[in-house]
Amino acid sequence: MLQSKKILIFVSGSIAIYKTLLLIRLLRKEGAEVRIVATKHALKFITILSFEVLSGHRVLHDENECWVQGETNYCNHISYAKWADIAIFAPISVNSISKLAHGIADNVYLSTALALPDIPKILATSANTFMLHNPIIQKNIETLQRYAYHLIPAVDGNLACGDNGNGAMADINEIIFQTKRLLMTQAYWHNVNVIVTGGGSKENIDSIRCISNHSSGLQASYLVLALYYLGANVYFISSQTPIQLPKSVNVSHVFSSQDYLHTINTTMYRIQQNKETSESYNNDNSPIYLFMVAAISDYIPLQKSGKLKKQDLGEKMLIELKQNIDILQSLNYKNLVKIAFKAECDSKNALSYARQILDSKKCAMVCLNIISEDNMSFGNESNEMYFLTKDSQTQIKDTKFNISLKLCEYIRTMQI
C-alpha cells in the first residue's frame, strides 16, 4: 500500500525516538522510501548511523547541508521538503511544536518543515504530561491543526521522568494507520458515514450456553480498514475484532442479534444527530452506507433461565427455536444504502437466491460467498466473492483486504 511513497520523518529530542526506528523499519517493509530530518537534540538519543542504516538515505541535520548538485552528499532543507509525499513528525517535542507554530526557522529541521509544500503532515507528540498540557503548548498545537497538521495525540503511560500520565508517543501502528489514510483518501468516501457489522451473533440457550456460527469477523474487519483508509467515518458493530483497528474507528462490541439491531439503530440516531449539529448541515441528503457482513442467526432459542442440567435433560437435549427478526429487511431509514452479504452452499442456485435479496430487502447490492471445499473462507485471509446489483455482476478472488478495496472501488464506479 505504501509502495514507492516518499515519507519524510522529522525527529526531535525525546526518549520516544526509539520507537521511530521501528516506524522506519515498518514503513520500508511496506515499500516506502524514507528520509530523516533530525534536530541536534534528537541525535543525542539515536546516532546518525542508525537512522541511515534503517532508512537507506542520508540524514539531514544542522551540520551536513549541501547545495552542490551532483555531489554524493547533496541534501538540504529545500530538496528534502520538495521530495516528500507526506511528512511525519514523530516524536515532536514541545520546543519544536512551539517554534513551528510561530514560523521560527533557526535550525535545518524547522527550515525543512516550513519549506514543505501542500502535503499531509502528521504530528505525534511526546513530552512530560505537565509540559504537553501546558495551555501555551495546547494553544500551539491548535494553531498547527488549523494549518492542516493532523494530530495523533500522546497516550497514557509510564514516562521517562518517572511520572505516569498522558505524554507517551502513540503506538507505531496508529501512526501507520493515519499515514495510509492520508495518502489513500478518495473524494467519494471522504467523511461519508459507514456502518459495518461483523462476526456472528450468539444466541443464549440458557444462562451458560449459546448457539452461534463460524463467522470470524475477518472480512468485516478488513472492510472497516479499507473504508477507514479511503476516508470514511466508520462505525463497526461486531461480536469479534480479529485484527487491530485504528482508534478513530467507532467500535461497538455486541453479542446477540438483538444487540446488533439495537446498536445499529442507536448508531443511526447518533449519525443523524452529528449531521444535524454539523456546521455544514443543510437538509443533508448524503447517503449512509450499511455493510451487513455479520452472520445473524435465522432462528433463535426460546431461552431458559439458569443452567439446564443434564440429569434433567436425559440422553438428548432438544432446543426449541423460533424464527428471528430479519434485521436488514427491518431497516428502512431515509438515505440508508443497504449492502447485504450472503453465504450459500448450493452453488447451482446461489446467485438466484442472492439476487432475490435485492428486492425483498431493498438492497442496493449483494456480496455473495459460495462456500465449498475450494472456498472455506471462515477465518482465512483469502476469499472468493460475487458483487451483484440489479444490472451487474462481477466475481473477485483475492485476499480479504484487497476484496474490500475492490468492493469500495466497485461501489464508487457504479455510483451505488
Q: Which residues are catalytic?
A: 161
Pairing label, strands 233-238, 193-198: parallel
Only one residue has cell 471522504, namely 190
Single-letter amino acid code for the residue at 74: Y
Question: Distance between CA atoms of 254 and 252, rounded to whole angstroms?
Answer: 6
Q: Is 394 helix (H, G, I), strand (E, B) or coil?
A: strand
136-171 b/e (C-beta count within 10 Å ≥ 16 → b): ebeebbeebeeeebbbbebeeeebeeeeebbbbbbe
Q: Is the four-CA dihedral 359, 217, 406, 192 of positive or negative sign? A: positive
The answer, yes or no, to whether the previous bond of 91 is cis (omega within 30 of 0) is: yes
Q: Are 191 and 233 in contact (CB under 8 A)?
A: yes
Question: Distance between CA atoms of 167 and 403, rounded to whole angstroms?
Answer: 38
Comparing CA positions, the residue from 257, 327, 258 lying closest to residue 297 is 257
Please return the burial class of 314, using the count of CB atoms within 10 Å of its CB with bins 0-12, 13-18 and 19+: exposed
Comparing CA positions, the residue from 34, 375, 404, 395 lying closest to residue 198 is 404
Contacts of 415 (CB under 8 A, 6+ apart): none
Q: Report the Cα 138 to chain-centroid distance in Å.
A: 26
C-alpha cell at 253: 462490541
